[in-house]
Structures are given as structure tokens and as C-alpha cells.
Amino acid sequence: MTRTRRPSPQTVKVLAALAADPSTWRYGYELGQQVGIKAGSLYPILMRLTDRGLLEASWESDPPVGRPPRHLYRLTGSGLALAAQVAADAVERDRPGVRGELRSAW
């Protein structure tokens, strides 16, 4: 039986930030600043989410003159579903009487 591991707290933050406005494409650095995660941790999370088909990555189509296009990110349908599930799990865990069970992080 396959067990779905719970995402790490940092991944949960990224998912929540992206799910807050799912239609908007986000920049990596700005996203990292918003959730308080440095590049060394943020990019592996973005890479993993992209590899698993949870995140869509695209290049800026019309960057300002003299500046290279930046990478943009937003959740896919599966990513949104995961974000919703993670948020629901968090609410369930925070209910009085329910003890959160820590598992290995992503």
C-alpha cells in the first residue's frame, strides 16, 4: 500500500501561498520573500512540485527590454487539490482532541 507523505512545513507554506491566488503567475524570489523561505530551500521545493506535476512553470512572455525573462509559477489542478487537502488536514489536526502525528517531511 502506498502512503502519501505529508508535505514539509515549508512546502505547505509554498502551497498555501500559491493557492491563495491560484490564477496568478508568481515569481520565485517574491514567493520566497512572502513565505520567508530562502532560495536554497525554495528552489528544491519548486523543482519537486514541478516534477510531480503539481506546479506549472513558464517563462515571462514579454520581459522589459534589457532584462532576461523570469520564471513564473502557479499550481496545476492536482497542485490545487493537494493544497486544499493539506489545508483541510491542518484544520483537522488543529481540532481539540486530535493529535498531530509527525511523519517524515518531503
Partner 1 sequence: MSRPPRDVAGALVALAVRLLPAARRGWGQAMRAELLQVEGGRARLGFALGCVRVALAQPAALRALGHLAATAAAVTLVLAGGVTYPGARFEIIALVAVLAALAWRGGRPGLLGPVGRSRTSRAVRAAGYALACGYLVVSVMDHRGPQLLGPQDGLLPGMITLVLYTVVTLAITARGSTAGPACLLSGIGAGLVAGLACFLVLPFERVLPPLADGLPGHGLWLLLVVAGAPGAAMVVVAWRTRSARQALMTVLCAGAVCAAVVALLGYGAFLLFPDQMPGIVPRGAGPPAVRHALSRLEAGDEYIAGLIWGCLLVAVLGAMMRPATRRFTRGLQALTVAGAVLALIGAAAGEEGAAVLVVVATLVAGMLALFAGPRGERIPSGAGGQVGS
Tell me which residues touch partner 1 (CB under 8 A): 27-30, 38-44, 46-47, 57, 66-71
Task: Please identify, using beta-carbon distances, which residue of 29 and 98 lies nearer to partner 1.
Answer: 29
Determine the distance from the C-alpha atom of residue 53 to the mean position of all C-alpha atoms in its chain, rounded to a whole number: 12
According to DSSP, the residues that pair with 75 across neighbouring strands are: 55
- Taking the complex as a whole, how short is the minimal distance between the CB of residue 78 and partner 1, in angstroms? 20
- Taking the complex as a whole, how short is the minimal distance between the CB of residue 44 and partner 1, in angstroms? 6
Cell 532560495 locates to 39
- Taking the complex as a whole, how short is the minimal distance between the CB of residue 96 and partner 1, in angstroms? 39
Task: Please identify, using beta-carbon distances, which residue of 34 and 87 lies nearer to partner 1.
Answer: 34
Task: Please report, for residues 21, 37, 46, 83, the alpha-carbon distance to residue 56 in angstroms, rounded to integers and kept in the order given.
Answer: 14, 19, 9, 14
Task: Please identify, using beta-carbon distances, which residue of 48 and 86 lies nearer to partner 1.
Answer: 48
- Taking the complex as a whole, how short is the minimal distance between the CB of residue 82 and partner 1, in angstroms? 21
- Of 56, 60, 61, 59, the closest CA to residue 73 belongs to 56
Task: Please identify, using beta-carbon distances, which residue of 64 and 96 lies nearer to partner 1.
Answer: 64
C-alpha–C-alpha distance, residues 7 and 55, integer Å: 14
